[in-house]
Amino acid sequence: MNTGDLELRRVGVPSTALFTDQYELTMLQAALRAGTADRRSVFEVFTRRLPEGRRYGVVAGTGRVLEAVRNFRFDADLLAFLRDKDIVDGPTLDWLDSYRFSGDIWGYPEGEVYFPGSPILRVEGTFAECVLLETMILSILNHDSAIAAAASRMASAAGGRPLIEMGARRTHELAAVAASRAAYVGGFDTTSDLAAGFRYDIPTVGTSAHAFTLLHDSERDAFRAQVDSLGRGTTLLVDTYDVAEAVRTAVEIAGPELGAVRIDSGDLLLVAHRVRQQLDELGAVNTRIVVTSDLDEYAIASLAAAPVDAYGVGTQLVTGSGHPTCSMVYKIVARATSSDPKAPLHPVAKKSLGGKTSIGGRKWAARRLDAEGRAEAEVIGTGPVPPELLDQQLLVELVKGGEIAAPEPLDTVRERHIAARAGLPMSAVQLSRGEPVIPTEYM
């Protein structure tokens, strides 16, 4: 899939300007009145810690962020709403009427891994234009990165076996499309969600549910109808009644060319072994076994020795496998002391108890490698980049002077993640609880 394909498949999106919290607009109003709204500022997205037990995070949603920035416009209806609800005053409404982000955005490339403190996204411009983007950016990155991290762990546990995303019915209908995209970035191969297939060109799959079997007078009738319609290469669901009898019937109807059988209940390890033996005895040696049923990375890992050919994952994937957010924050880290575009930037940081402190200053990030070329530290600094790290810098330019970079093909993002994960120490893919696989160092 190339950039042209992405452009052709873009779905019309309404304005994203109200995907925000009210205080962002009231801060804007106060700053406009105080004469500080035009001060050059730098905001950064980072997380202070990874979800408990996780060894690395996955940057996902960057492409959606850029699209959302492009669509951050206050049209007449939105301005009327703000006026009617008396949310901001007239001068602020006039300012919003012509809002277009004109600053710069740098960030980790989508698909890259990150660690505590990593400046995942850096937004630079006037305070006014940057502060408005906070909630929208965080809502996308927190959701998509959580799904991608869960997907990455599941892909590691699957050991190269295909993974099917099938969680649309377990989440909001629009979140389902975003979750499918993030899962693909993290290593899933296909989705059951047609909206995700249409919008992002993710391969789609699907055959039948138990309802189709129950519709017919017998399981044989149901299998015959499906094979007649979809061909011998289809996947037949064999656990509606008796699994052994269903497998026998499936091979009788489709023959040894039967594409796959799906198991959706029971002791999957035991049943998969029995079904594989039965298929082989019936001559269907190339018929694949697909398992579903509330899988997560731990269940997938427990099936590593089972004769399973593919996994379908729903609920645990679209909810981040217990961690539905990455706790990313969007903080101002530097600002000018006047509205002069040439005024120097000064580091700023909140002082707080309870682990909510942050580090001021416009940051760079690099990943130091060991002698074998594997990551050994996430290095973050605010001064000059050490010469030995110049070639290992992580942030790339995503928006320059308001001009948004062309969208990347999703396959490129997916391949980047595979490479980034492979560049970590081997313990990164362990499912046992532990600390981040490499430390974060500040310079």
Phi-psi region of 204 (alpha: psi -120 to 50; beta: other; left: phi over 0): beta
CA torsion 170-174-179-180 (nearest 10°) is 100
Q: Are residues 293 and 404 in the same domain?
A: no
The residue among 318, 338, 366 that closes a domain is 318
What confidence tens digit (pLDDT) does each residue in 279-291 have? 999 999 999 999 9
With respect to residue 139, please indicate whether it lies within any of the assigned structural domains.
no
Domain boundary among the residues 318, 349, 367 is at 318
Q: Return the SS3 of 306.
A: coil
pLDDT at 11: 46
Q: Which residue segment(s) compose the domain that 280 sits in? A: 148-318
Start-to-end C-alpha separation, the chain: 40
Domain count, the chain: 2
pLDDT at res. 13: 56
Residue 73, in any domain of the structure: yes
In a domain, 54, yes or no: yes
- Check which CATH number belongs to the domain holding 175 and give it: 3.20.20.70
Q: Are residues 30 and 96 in the same domain?
A: yes
Domain at 61, CATH number = 3.20.140.10
Q: What is the pTM of this model?
A: 0.94
Average pLDDT of adjacent 10-residue blocks, the chain of 443 residues: 45 79 98 98 97 95 96 95 98 97 98 98 98 98 98 97 97 96 98 96 97 98 98 98 98 98 97 98 98 96 97 97 96 96 93 78 97 96 95 97 94 98 96 93 94
Tens-digit pLDDT profile for residues 389-432: 999 999 999 999 999 988 899 999 999 999 999 999 999 999 98
Residue-wise pLDDT for 199-242, tens only, equals 999 999 999 999 999 999 999 999 999 999 999 999 999 999 99
Strand bridging mode 396-400 / 104-107? antiparallel
CB atoms within 10 A of CB 339: 14
| Secondary structure element (H or E) that encloses residue 240, with its range | none
**For residue 85, what pLDDT is reported?**
97
Q: What percent of the chain has pLDDT over 90?
A: 92
Q: Give the model's pLDDT for residue 12.
A: 52
| Length of the chain counted residue by residue | 443
Instruction: Name the residue among 323, 407, 329 with its Cα closest to residue 147.
Output: 323
Hey, how many other C-beta atoms are within 10 angstroms of the C-beta on 277?
11
